[in-house]
C-alpha cells in the first residue's frame, strides 16, 4: 500500500453533526457557526480577536492591505520576509504594492534574526515571520527586533495550529496572526483560515473589508429588529474573503482533536529523528528549539541528492514532497536571487517525509529504512 505525504483525518460523525445543525437551521453562510468557531478559536489561542476567512491567503492579502491604509505606508515600502515559504506569503506583500526584502533562514528553516537585522532600512515597515512546518524557530528574537525598530509583525501561522512556545500559543506579541485550515493542514476543513488582529479596531475593519466593505453583514442584519435592518453602508472597497458556516462547522469539530493529533504527529517526528540519528553526516535534521512544542505539520530532512532519493522512495510506493522552492527563483522575485545562500541550498536539498494521523509505527520504519538504504549507497555528505 502506498505511503502518502498527507492524508487528512476527520472526526466524521462530529463533523456531520455540526454541519447537520447548519442545514437544519438553513444557515450555511457567514454567521452562526462562523461566530461559534471564532469564539472557540479565541478561547483556544488566547488571542484578542479572530475572524473566520475562506483561506489563509485571503488573510495575508487583507492584512497588508489594512496595514498599508491604516499606517500610511507608501508603494515600495519594504517588508522583510523569508524566501522559504509558499508563494502566497510573499504574493500578499506584492499585491499590496509593497516590496518583499528577503532575509536568509537558519537551521530552524525560519527567519534568521541576525539576517533580518541586516536588512532593516528606513523603508522597512514590517517583518513577515513564517512558522515553517509548525516550528517557531527564533520567533521571540524577531519579536524583540520588531519592538526595537518599531516594525509591524505579521505571523504567518499557516502551519502552526497548536504550536506552543514556553507552553503558550504564540501570536499575542504579533500585530496580526494568520492561520490556515486548508484540506491537509493539522486542523483540516476543505479550505478556510483565521485572521487574528491584536487591535480591536483592526478586527472591526477586517470584518467589513472581507465582506466587500459593507458595514453590516447579512447575519447581523437578520438578527436586527426594525424597518431599516436591511440598510447598510459600504465603507471600503473590499473583497469577498469571509468564511462560511459549513467550513466553520468542520473546524469546530476538528478543533476538539487538534492537541491530540499534534501529540501523535510529534511522536511520528520522534520516530524519524531516532531512526536518522546515526546518519547525521548524510541526513540533516531541522533544529526545533527546546522551548518550541511544534505542531509538526511537516517532517523535513536535508540530503545531498534530493531528487534521486525522491525517485527511490517513489519506487517503494512512498510519496514525499518538497516545501518549498526558494521564492527568489520565481520571476517576480528574481531581483533577490542569490541573496539568501542557506535558503537556496535548502531549497535544492530538502524533502518532506510522510506525516499524518493514519501512519503507523511500522509505516514510519518502512520510510526510515528506505531513506537509509538509498543514502548509504553513495559517499555524498550534506553541507553543514
Q: Do 296 and 250 share a structural domain?
A: no
Rounded to the nearest 10°, the torsion over CA 95, 206, 200, 155 is -40
Residue 364 has pLDDT above 60, yes or no: yes
Q: What are phi and psi of 52, to 5 degrees?
A: -80, 135
Cis, bond preceding 266 (omega within 30 deg of 0): no
Strands (E), the chain: 3-4, 51-53, 78-81, 99-102, 124-130, 152-157, 164-165, 176-180, 193-197, 284-285, 292-293, 299-302, 318-319, 350-353
Read off the C-alpha cell for 305. Answer: 541528492
Residue 369 has pLDDT above 90, yes or no: yes
Whether residue 383 is contained in a domain is answered as no
Residue 225 has pLDDT above 60, yes or no: no
Span 112-127, average pLDDT? 98
Residue 223 has pLDDT above 70, yes or no: no
Whether residue 302 is contained in a domain is answered as yes
Q: What are phi and psi of 65, to 5 degrees?
A: -60, -45
Q: Do 148 and 99 share a structural domain?
A: yes
CA distance 324 to 135: 15
- The pLDDT of residue 218 is 61
Q: Do 215 and 351 share a structural domain?
A: no
Count of Cβ atoms closer than 10 Å to residue 86 Cβ: 18
Q: Are 127 and 154 in contact (CB under 8 A)?
A: yes
Whether residue 206 is contained in a domain is answered as yes
CA distance 130 to 367: 27
Q: Do 162 and 15 share a structural domain?
A: yes
pLDDT higher at 225 or 151: 151
CATH of the domain at 131: 3.40.640.10
**DSSP annotation of 74:** P
Containing structural domain, residue 63: 9-255
- Per the structure, the count of domains in the chain is 2
pLDDT per position as a tens digit, 328-354: 999 999 999 999 999 999 999 999 999
Q: Do 249 and 110 share a structural domain?
A: yes
CATH of the domain at 279: 3.90.1150.10
- The pLDDT of residue 232 is 87
Question: Cα dist. 310→101, 224, 313 in Å?
Answer: 32, 58, 5
Instruction: Pick the closest to residue 271 from 367, 374, 185 (CA basis).
Output: 367
CA distance 348 to 282: 15
Q: Of 237, 255, 273, which closes a domain?
A: 255
Whether residue 236 is contained in a domain is answered as yes
Span 258-265, average pLDDT? 98
- The pLDDT of residue 4 is 98
Pairing of strands 99-102, 292-293: unpaired
Confidence band (pLDDT; 50, 70, 90) for 229?
low
Question: Cα dist. 40→47, 50, 178, 199, 205 in Å?
Answer: 11, 9, 16, 19, 21
Read off the C-alpha cell for 326. Answer: 526558494
Q: Do 183 and 149 share a structural domain?
A: yes
Q: Do 164 and 95 share a structural domain?
A: yes
CA distance 15 to 277: 39
Q: Do 355 and 291 share a structural domain?
A: yes
Confidence band (pLDDT; 50, 70, 90) for 60?
very high
**DSSP annotation of 356:** S
Q: Of 255, 286, 319, which closes a domain?
A: 255
Whether residue 141 is contained in a domain is answered as yes
Q: Do 227 and 346 share a structural domain?
A: no
Whether residue 361 is contained in a domain is answered as yes
CA distance 207 to 243: 11
Count Cα neighbours of 99 within 13 Å in the Cβ-side half-sphere: 14
Read off the C-alpha cell for 56. Answer: 489563509
Confidence band (pLDDT; 50, 70, 90) for 216?
confident
- The pLDDT of residue 231 is 76
How many residues are there in the chain? 384
Alpha helices in the chain (DSSP H): 12-25, 33-45, 56-71, 87-95, 113-119, 139-148, 200-209, 218-222, 245-255, 258-276, 306-315, 341-349, 361-375
Q: Do 282 and 146 share a structural domain?
A: no
Q: Of 234, 255, 276, which closes a domain?
A: 255
Whether residue 4 is contained in a domain is answered as no
Whether residue 235 is contained in a domain is answered as yes
Radius of gyration of the chain (CA): 22
- Among 88-92, 282-286, 375-379, the range scoring the smallest mean pLDDT is 375-379
Q: Do 300 and 237 share a structural domain?
A: no
The SS3 of residue 118 is helix
Residue 222 has pLDDT above 70, yes or no: no
Residue 379 has pLDDT above 90, yes or no: no
CA distance 231 to 246: 26
DSSP characters for 307-352? HHHHHHHHHTTEE-B-----GGGSGGGGGGTTS-HHHHHHHHHEEE
Q: Do 226 and 197 share a structural domain?
A: yes
Residue 228 has pLDDT above 70, yes or no: no
The pLDDT mean for the chain works out to 95
Amino acid at each position: 500500500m502506498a505511503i502518502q505525504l498527507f492524508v487528512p483525518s476527520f472526526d466524521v460523525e462530529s463533523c456531520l453533526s455540526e454541519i447537520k445543525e447548519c442545514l437544519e437551521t438553513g444557515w450555511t453562510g457567514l454567521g452562526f457557526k462562523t461566530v461559534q468557531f471564532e469564539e472557540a478559536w479565541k478561547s483556544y489561542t488566547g488571542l484578542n480577536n479572530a475572524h473566520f476567512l475562506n483561506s489563509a491567503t485571503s488573510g495575508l492579502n487583507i492584512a497588508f492591505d489594512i496595514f498599508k491604509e491604516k499606517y500610511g505606508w507608501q508603494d515600495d515600502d519594504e517588508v522583510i520576509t523569508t524566501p522559504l515559504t509558499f508563494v502566497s506569503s510573499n504574493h500578499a506583500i506584492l499585491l499590496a504594492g509593497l516590496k518583499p526584502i528577503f532575509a536568509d533562514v537558519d537551521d530552524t528553516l525560519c527567519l534568521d534574526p541576525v539576517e533580518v537585522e541586516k536588512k532593516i532600512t528606513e523603508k522597512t515597515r514590517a517583518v513577515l515571520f513564517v512558522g515553517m512546518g509548525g516550528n517557531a524557530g527564533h520567533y521571540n528574537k524577531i519579536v524583540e527586533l520588531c519592538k526595537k525598530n518599531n516594525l509591524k509583525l505579521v505571523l504567518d501561522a499557516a502551519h502552526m495550529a497548536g504550536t506552543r512556545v514556553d507552553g503558550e500559543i504564540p501570536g499575542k506579541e504579533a500585530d496580526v496572526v494568520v492561520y490556515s485550515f486548508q484540506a491537509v493542514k493539522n486542523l483540516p476543513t476543505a479550505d478556510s483560515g483565521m485572521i487574528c488582529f491584536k487591535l480591536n479596531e483592526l478586527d472591526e475593519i477586517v470584518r467589513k473589508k472581507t465582506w466587500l466593505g459593507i458595514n453590516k453583514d447579512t447575519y447581523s442584519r437578520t438578527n436586527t429588529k426594525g424597518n431599516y435592518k436591511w440598510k447598510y453602508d459600504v465603507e471600503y472597497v473590499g473583497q469577498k474573503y469571509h468564511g462560511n458556516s459549513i467550513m466553520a462547522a468542520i473546524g469546530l469539530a476538528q478543533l476538539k482533536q487538534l492537541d491530540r493529533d499534534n501529540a501523535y504527529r510529534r511522536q511520528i517526528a520522534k520516530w524519524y529523528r531516532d531512526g536518522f540519528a546515526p546518519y547525521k553526516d548524510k541526513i540533516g535534521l531541522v533544529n526545533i528549539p527546546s522551548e518550541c512544542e511544534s505542531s509538526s505539520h511537516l517532517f523535513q530532512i536535508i540530503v545531498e541528492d534530493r531528487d534521486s532519493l525522491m525517485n527511490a522512495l517513489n519506487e517503494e510506493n512512498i510519496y514525499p514532497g518538497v516545501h518549498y522552492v526558494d521564492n527568489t527563483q520565481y520571476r517576480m522575485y528574481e531581483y533577490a536571487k542569490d541573496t539568501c545562500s542557506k535558503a537556496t541550498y535548502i531549497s535544492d536539498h530538502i524533502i518532506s517525509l510522510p506525516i499524518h494521523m493514519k501512519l503507523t509505527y511500522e509505516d514510519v520504519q518502512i520510510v526510515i529504512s528506505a531513506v537509509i538504504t538509498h543514502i548509504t549507497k553513495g559517499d555524498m555528505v550534506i553541507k553543514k
